[in-house]
A = this chain, B = another copy of it.
Amino acid sequence: MSDVRIIEIKQSVFADNDREADRLRSELKGKRTFLLNLMSSPGSGKTTTLQQTVARLKDEMKIGVMEADIDSSVDAEKMAKTGVRSIQLHTGGMCHLDAGMTEQGLKEIGVDDLDLVVLENVGNLVCPAEFDTGAARNAMILSVPEGHDKPLKYPLIFTVCDALIINKIDVLPYFDFDMDKVVEYAHMRNPKLKIFPICAKTGEGVDAWCDWLREQVRSWNER
């Protein structure tokens, strides 16, 4: 059906996830590998956003993508077509990835020659926000059809992220989505949050997001 490599990851045994995450982050820093943890609801456009991101950055840096899902290999198949190294992680029903689970994936994909690894987390606005994966930066996507009230209902994820991508701006005319309000609510949760309105389908706005990501990777990876 597909030649994508699927890794069945196991639940972690570490009691102290924060400590494991810090250790993993230091190791990745030493190897000059930037890990981005990308989170969102199901269907907000993580994979399409990554396809656009990879197309813009793959000639400047070596990129790997880990697609985490409970089941299927739909996303890793899509990413493989972009020409970057990609693997599918199956979480065995788990609703999130912690540092130990992320590390299992990193070992499988092999990070020594990679400048940027993106972890596409399980589609979920709640649980992934509670577990530090060891990433250098956290980013999330909120799509227009989900509504502008999400920072009110799911506070934590907006607090732990460095960047918020607002996707599907092409359908703004068809939804009651107030861009000013979502920015206000998101900054109420996290005043430092960088916000990038984009349309991953057409590529609109993706350059600004990639400029930010490129700068983060560069400053993380320089000696």
Which residues of B are found within 8 Å of A130, using beta-carbon distances?
93
The answer, yes or no, to whether A205 is at the interface (CB within 8 Å) is no
How many residues on A have C-beta within 8 angstroms of the other chain's C-beta atoms?
35
Are the C-beta atoms of B43 and A126 separated by less than 8 Å? no
- Per-residue contact bits, chain A 140-158, to B (CB 8 Å; 1 contact, 0 not): 0001111101101111100
Q: Are B95 and A124 in contact, CB atoms less than 8 angstroms apart?
A: yes
Number of copies: 2
- Distance (Å) between the CB of A147 and the closest chain B CB? 5
Contacts of A154 in B (CB 8 A): 42, 70-71, 123
Interchain CA distance A82-B68 in the complex, whole Å: 40
**Chain B residues within 8 Å of A164, by CB:** none
Check if A72 is an interface residue, CB within 8 A of chain B.
yes
> Which residues of chain A from 184 to 199 have any CB-CB distance to chain B below 8 Å in the complex?
none
| Interface residue from B41, B144, B171 paired with A42 (Cβ < 8 Å) | B41
**Chain B CB within 8 A of A122 CB:** yes
Contacts of A70 in B (CB 8 A): 126, 153-156
CB distance from A201 to the nearest CB of B (A): 8
Interface of A is mostly: loop
Interface residues of A in 122-138 (CB under 8 A from B): 122-127, 130
Whether the Cβ atoms of B123 and A125 lie closer than 8 Å is yes
Select A155's contact among B71, B150, B155, beta carbons within 8 Å. Answer: B71
A71 touches B153 (CB 8 A): yes
Residues of B within 8 A of A179 (CB): none
Q: Which 8 A-B pairs have the closest CB atoms?
A: A43-B146, A145-B145, A95-B126, A72-B152, A43-B147, A41-B42, A41-B41, A72-B153
5 cross-chain CB contacts under 8 A: A42-B146, A70-B154, A95-B127, A123-B153, A145-B146
